[in-house]
Chains A and B, each alone.
Chain A
Amino acid sequence: MIQIRNLKKRFRNNTVLDGIDLDINEGDVVGIIGPSGTGKSTLLRCIDLLETPEEGEITIDGAVYSLAEHDRRQTLALRRQTGMVFQRFNLFERKTALENVMEGLVTVQKKPKEEARMLAEGELKRVGMYDWSEHYPKHLSGGQQQRVAIARALAMKPKLLLLDEPTSALDPELVGEVLETIRDIASQGFTMMLVSHEMNFVRKVANRVIFLDGGKIVEDGTPREVFDRPKSQRAKDFFAKMHLLKQPEYTI
């Protein structure tokens, strides 16, 4: 069980998150949608303490972490519970795919090299990138890089996996493989918060969708509730703009 309480973040006079409360059950895949600039990335970054909010706390499995006030030890403790997948992959350029995945296991979890290697290889297999173990990021396509980045995050066994538009920096033909990988891990019971503009994908993979606007959660429910019967005008307008309703069902 993960509880986020009263998360408030502003940049100067721009209030981006205005008291977010969110309870997430283990194994939930929470899709986060909303207009551009509405604070979706900021929400994830505050949870991972890449930004420091003014107020807010998070409880993960009973352990309470203040998001606003944290010393170095607390910061690391929280980050070790969470994993992040970035829009632009952010792989370590001078490390191979395997080394990218091993890095946290060796440096942070202090696992022996051999064990780390085995675990990392397992994660690369999970995302179908084992054959590319020895490749450096510059040798990989965007989609492949993102799959390695997912493996890197999963290797740390995070209690909560944060994905910030994992496919929006990809060429259209590479989007599929990454979405498929995410769908895979979602079905394996990882708890995730997924920011995405791929509405059909969110609808399929998430068991809960929240619509963020004006610093608040405007819609919160199952994909059906949010996509098919949005309560707020803002969400209706947003979906209308996305031409979502005209789109064919997502198929696999």
Chain B
Amino acid sequence: MMMQILSETNLFDFGLVGRQLPELLKYLPITLELALLSMLIGLAVGLLLAVIRMKRIPVLRQIAAFYISIIRGTPAIVQLYIAYFGIPMLLKYMNLHFGTDFDISAFPGFACAVFAMGFNESAYNAETIRAALSSVDRGQIEAASAVGMTYPQALRRIILPEAMTVALPGLGNSFIGLIKGTSLAFTCAVVEMTAQGKILGGRNYRYFEVYVSLAIIYWAVTIIVERILKFIEKRLELPEQIDKKAAAAEEPEKARTFTKEAKVRYDTNKKPEKAFSQ
């Protein structure tokens, strides 16, 4: 009934929603590139900020707090505009002042958008990453120090692998938010999926249909990304149970490496409470 009215009155063109999908999907790679590159910046800078705050590095710590406060205190769209107009100005200034030779007209809006969204993301990621880093038991870090590892080594080899499992759900969520946030990139004259949708809508004034198409695509992408994140989470889980080494193959070798004295251990092990109780 409703369908009939819709199609007879030509109020809502169902077919168009589907027909437009391929045209919009052509721009999905740009959307994903924006999101992925911004996320990379967001992770790298976020980690840096998190370590600065964790280790309470003087001066840098105050700068980090100031930076995070600014980013969190201003709308993303404003940050994008500032990047779009500000970065070329900065380059021009550097050309004039330091005699560098940046081609300002060639500096793409795409890069401005990635910078702006990446730095925006970093301020939010910093907190997630800091919480994850500090969830790693101090004992492991001391143990890493005790074997002679430097802090960067401990961070890379011991702390991050464990913190990652803690941070993953939060970072995953913010990545999903970022994918949808890329629709703001039009501010930097980037034609990504939503911008292309607007262009299509402008051609035939079927704005409603095109936004429905867009909604479907974003939703589908989100579901796929969620699936991927679940998969990664599963991969990061430690196995439930592990087999002992094939005892038969190792037994002779063990016998060789053990001293006579150590063999006594096997007997005493059975009743250690007797052997050692105070």
Interface residues of A (CB under 8 A from B): 48-50, 72, 76, 79-80, 82-84, 86, 88-94, 103-104, 107-108, 122, 125-126, 128, 130-136, 138-139, 149, 152-153, 156, 172-177, 179-181, 184, 187, 198-201, 242-244, 247, 250-252
Name B213-262 residues within 8 Å CB distance of A.
238-239, 241-245, 247, 250, 253-254, 257-259, 261-262
Q: Which of B148, B244, B269, B277 has the most CB of A within 10 A?
A: B148
Apart from A94-B165, A149-B143: 4 A-B pairs, beta carbons within 8 A: A86-B142, A128-B254, A175-B273, A176-B275
A175 touches B254 (CB 8 A): no
Query: Count of chain B residues with Cβ under 8 Å from any Cβ of A?
Result: 45
A86-B143, A104-B148, A107-B157 are contacts. A176–B273 as well, Cβ < 8 Å? yes
A184 touches B272 (CB 8 A): no
A104 touches B250 (CB 8 A): no
Chain A positions within 8 Å of B247 at CB level: 131
Q: Is B98 an interface residue (CB 8 A)?
A: no
B242 touches A134 (CB 8 A): yes
Chain B positions within 8 Å of A251 at CB level: 275
Mostly, the B contact residues are: helix
A136 touches B144 (CB 8 A): no
B254 touches A130 (CB 8 A): yes
A199 touches B278 (CB 8 A): yes
> Taking the nearest CB of chain A, how far is it from the CB of B133, in angstroms?
14
A138-B238, A179-B276, A184-B259 are contacts. A108–B148 as well, Cβ < 8 Å? yes
> Taking the nearest CB of chain B, how far is it from the CB of A119, in angstroms?
13
B245 touches A131 (CB 8 A): yes
Chain B positions within 8 Å of A48 at CB level: 145-146
A139-B242, A179-B276 are contacts. A125–B254 as well, Cβ < 8 Å? yes
A184 touches B150 (CB 8 A): no
Chain B positions within 8 Å of A138 at CB level: 238
Chain A positions within 8 Å of B161 at CB level: 94
> Taking the nearest CB of chain B, how far is it from the CB of A188, in angstroms?
8
A107 CA / B162 CA spacing, docked (Å) = 17
Chain A positions within 8 Å of B242 at CB level: 134-136, 139
> Taking the nearest CB of chain A, how far is it from the CB of B132, in angstroms?
13
A134 touches B245 (CB 8 A): yes
Chain B positions within 8 Å of A133 at CB level: 245
